[in-house]
Amino acid sequence: MPSNHASSRSSLPIKKKPSDFIFGKVIGEGSYSTVILAKEVSSKKEYAIKVLEKKHILQEKKKKYVMREKEVFSRINHPFFVRLYFTFQDENRLYFGLGYCKRGELLDYLNKLGSLDCAATQFYTAEIVLALEHLHNLGIIHRDLKPENILLDENMHIQITDFGSAKILGEEDNGLRRNSFVGTAQYVSPEVLNSKESFLSSDLWALGCIVFQFCAGKVPFWGGHEYQIFQKIIKLEYEFPHGFDSTTQNLVEQLLNLDPRKRLGCKEMGGYAKLKAHPFFEGVDWDNLPEGKPPELQPYLPACGEDSENLWGQYKPGLDDQHLSQLQLISVDGKLGSPSEQTPSTSNVTGARASWANEDDRSRKLDKQSRENDYHRFVEGHLILKQGLLDKRVGLFARRRMMLLTEGPHLYYVDPQHMVLKGEIPWSEELKPEAKNFKIFFVHTPNRTYYLEDPSGNALKWCDKITEVWRHYYDDKKKDAPLS
């Protein structure tokens, strides 16, 4: 008969090992770790396994950071945080088995959209607030809260991760660096820069930066290098761009307070109950937020809700055939069909194809372009099919650019003031133009949506021309047509 000791040993969970998993692609990398998507052989479940090299941890004196992160994960029990399911090790590495967030980083969506609309800004800010309330009730400061560390699960709810910089109140910081700040430059609080001291409300400062970024498309404090960013933070040197929602602005101003004891949400200011009562959160169902349906992620478009002066200023009296056809192209919700749904006029397509396919005509136009067009030097010898000054927006921030649509196809954009090529919108079969109104249009690409505004009100013409080029290169009927 087996002894009680043997029986208790057999009931212990079996430690996992690397051979229990099929390791797939790398989905994240840190300063001393790599996160790999892995599937457990027995259960077929997917995990994000954080792999840490023991040798590197010891060399870089990161042991306390690693142990602290594991401790924080073990204390957290909330739906808005990444869960630690298991840990194991071998001779060379440590392994943390984390929940896999299939939708990736919130930062990726911000980069693609530029900014979030009011509904998404409110929803995701509310989820972060609930998460911070739980974390701070446990006496834990995250200290590196930023969109890159906010992941999204398959249902598009947040999952906060990365506790390598976290601080547990009441524990000593012995062995941890005190001669440099902890966190990321754009989100670090002034007290950390001034005294290297963190408060629970240091996370609320980061929240203010994130809310600003959600709405504006950029962080409030930015510069060419870290020192410049730090100086702006210490001096509270930032400004709200035109079109920033006034209620959201009030919330941000109460979070970005230089005094950590005067930030909305901290204990001295009434705690999280006071923060959640701010008008910004009106209508939020706090009790059912984890089960709620997240809003569809859309960029913030203040120009779409135009007042009468802006609306009527675009149009001329009368209704001719051209104006009527333009009005019909824009649907009730302000969208223009995708390239497969749009039908540019036959004359435009014919004229464009003649310019491209006829070598003599193309050579003549290219020669004239090289002699007379100041922007010829930016297009790598390609024929310019359409050009014009547009405002290229990232959130609420805009930069005037000369947009150059060429054969190839290519969409270059140039700083017209300094005559410097700033970039190129990447072409692929998935590229789609979308008009929002007569001034604003999007160019959708797989990894980003470009938000463009034509001050002259010719957004539809840009969409038509981009669609022409798209069809010339990607329409099955025209893919094999000669260009030059």
Binding residues for ATP are 50
Tell me whether the omega of the peptide bond preceding residue 18 falls within 30 degrees of 0, making it cis: no
- Tell me how far apart the alpha carbons of residues 258 and 206 are, in angstroms, rounded to a whole number: 12
Catalytic choice (20, 90, 144, 360): 144
Q: Mapping DSSP to helix (H, G, I), strand (E, B) and coil, where does residue 274 land?
A: helix
> Which among 83, 105, 86 has a CA at the least distance from the CA of 96?
86
Binding residues: 50
- Tell me how far apart the alpha carbons of residues 67 and 437 are, in angstroms, rounded to a whole number: 54
Q: Mapping DSSP to helix (H, G, I), strand (E, B) and coil, where does residue 438 land?
A: coil
Report CA-CA distances (Å) from 126 to 197, 230, 277. 26, 28, 11
Judge contact between 440 and 459, C-beta under 8 A: yes
- Tell me how far apart the alpha carbons of residues 298 and 172 are, in angstroms, rounded to a whole number: 44
Q: Which residues contact 369 (CB under 8 A, 6 or more apart)?
A: 376, 383, 384
Tokens of 193: 């820069």
Q: Tell me if residue 144 is catalytic.
A: yes
> Which among 27, 22, 26, 25 has a CA at the least distance from the CA of 44?
22
Length of the chain: 484
Q: Which residues contact 350 (CB under 8 A, 6 or more apart)?
A: none
- Tell me how far apart the alpha carbons of residues 388 and 457 are, in angstroms, rounded to a whole number: 11
Q: Active-site residues: which are they?
A: 144
